[in-house]
Structure 1
Amino acid sequence: MPRMPETVAALQRGAVVRAARLVRLDFASGSRFLHQGVGPLRTADGTVWSGIGELGQISDIEQAVVPTDGAPSLTLSGVDPGLIAATLAASSEVKGRPARIFDQHYDESWNLLDAPRAMYVGLVDRMTIADSGSTATIAVSLLTLLYRRRRPAFAYLNHASQTKLYPGDQGARELAALVQRTRPWPNY
């Protein structure tokens, strides 16, 4: 069974299938639902997605498990410079928050076909602002969920780390004696 049965069936019939790119940003103050079009757009679950029109752009999304080109970025041009201060103040509620990008398919009359399909899931990294005088451009860069995969462990499994985290705990006291050694267990 295909992942998108209604979309595939419409394409097999030769019908026109429209696609909309949806972005869900889960900020600390609440979620924002945006789409790269004009006006509101409704999905099957009743969510209304606000259009960012011609001023917004979503970069290409690489479908690899670990993208080589980096993660996608979102830009919004033609922003009122008065929003710059609010954007800079909002960086504390944006950093490390979930971001999801979906594709939603519609027929020629903009009737829903299937549920939105997740194209990218990641975290918001940082927001940058380019001010050109009368308007500004806000760019949001995203990170993949695997960006911390090479980060060292928070602590080592040894007696010193264990007693630092849990004073008085003696559970890791004999671990050093077990390195490169086979301990018979159970001992009857």
Structure 2
Amino acid sequence: MSRGLTPTIEAEFAKKNLVPLLFVEVQFVSGWVRLWSGIGAIVWNGQTWLGVALPNGTVLGSISQLQETTDGSAQAAALSLSGIPSTAVQQVLNECRPNNIANIFLGAADQVTGAVLADPYCAWSGYTDVPTISDSGDTCTVTISVESRLVDLQRAREWRYTNEDQQLFVPGDIGFEYVGALQSLSITWGKGAPVFPPVPPGQRVAKR
């Protein structure tokens, strides 16, 4: 088995004829939007996915080529949806936020019944960027760039060894409680303590 494919999907992909399916879910402000590459609504993974294909053969959604590299660098994918009324552009912009989650699943359908075979696998997972709008009059096309999760490796970590950050990870832990006070604490270092009993006059104390 390769890349986590189920035996059913792997066997289907090896056939000469294949009915591929794509599922896309994107997190927006008001909730998740779930779309698939077919016609009408379909239920998979306990969720309802809306089709981006029309009976006349028009396909409103598209996905750019998914690329992988051997050096582990983060690659981006582009999700596009056309046919959106121009009057809804502002609503689309209000719904989109950077760094929301987006997932792309690749699967297959049974060639006789059309049912979704178990189980589509996650071919891409990443974070959304700001959308771009292409207006063509009455309708527009919205394209959202999705950065691979590998982009996390390029981001600086902003956690600090402070009590506030520690509470986010382990609430109630007081290991960093006095870190803030140390910033203004004055400590005399290297000054020896008084010698007892007193050293007789003329006698020196050997330094350690």
What's the CA shift for 1:169? 2.0
Matches within 5 A, 1:10-159: 10=12, 14=15, 16-43=17-44, 45-53=45-53, 54-64=59-69, 66-67=72-73, 70-91=75-96, 94-109=97-112, 110-154=114-158
What's the CA shift for 1:134? 2.2
Q: Measure, in 2, the Cα distance between the counterparts of 1:147 and 1:42.
A: 31
Change (3 A) 1:138 1:145: same
Whether contact under 8 Å (1:17, 1:108) holds in the other structure is: yes
- Structure 2 residue ranges without an equivalent (≥5): 54-58, 166-175, 184-208
RMSD: 2.9
Whether contact under 8 Å (2:28, 2:95) holds in the other structure is: no
Size of the aligned set, in residue pairs, is 164
Change (3 A) 1:63 1:155: closer
Change (3 A) 1:112 1:37: closer
Q: Measure, in 2, the Cα distance between the counterparts of 1:40 and 1:164.
A: 46
Matched, 1:169 2:173: no
- Structure 1 residue ranges without an equivalent (≥5): 174-188
What's the CA shift for 1:163? 8.7
- Render the CA deviation track for 1:62-88: whole Å, top value 9, x for unaligned: 1347456x3111111222101101112
Change (3 A) 1:138 1:156: same
Q: Measure, in 1, the Cα distance between the counterparts of 2:150 and 2:181.
A: 32
TM-score, normalising length from structure 1? 0.72
User: Could you tell me the percent identity over the aligned residues?
Assistant: 25
Q: Measure, in 1, the Cα distance between the counterparts of 2:86 and 2:164.
A: 49
Q: Measure, in 2, the Cα distance between the counterparts of 1:125 and 1:107.
A: 35
- Render the CA deviation track for 1:120-179: whole Å, top value 9, x for unaligned: 01011111112122221111111111224233342676xxxx599767427988xxxxxx
Q: Which amino acid aligns with 1:86?
A: Q
Task: Tell which structure's C-alpha radius of gyration is larger.
Answer: 2
Q: Measure, in 2, the Cα distance between the counterparts of 1:98 and 1:88.
A: 16
Q: Measure, in 1, the Cα distance between the counterparts of 2:12 and 2:76.
A: 31
- Render the CA deviation track for 1:14-68: whole Å, top value 9, x for unaligned: 574311111011223211111122211232x332210112111111111347456
Whether contact under 8 Å (2:9, 2:119) holds in the other structure is: no
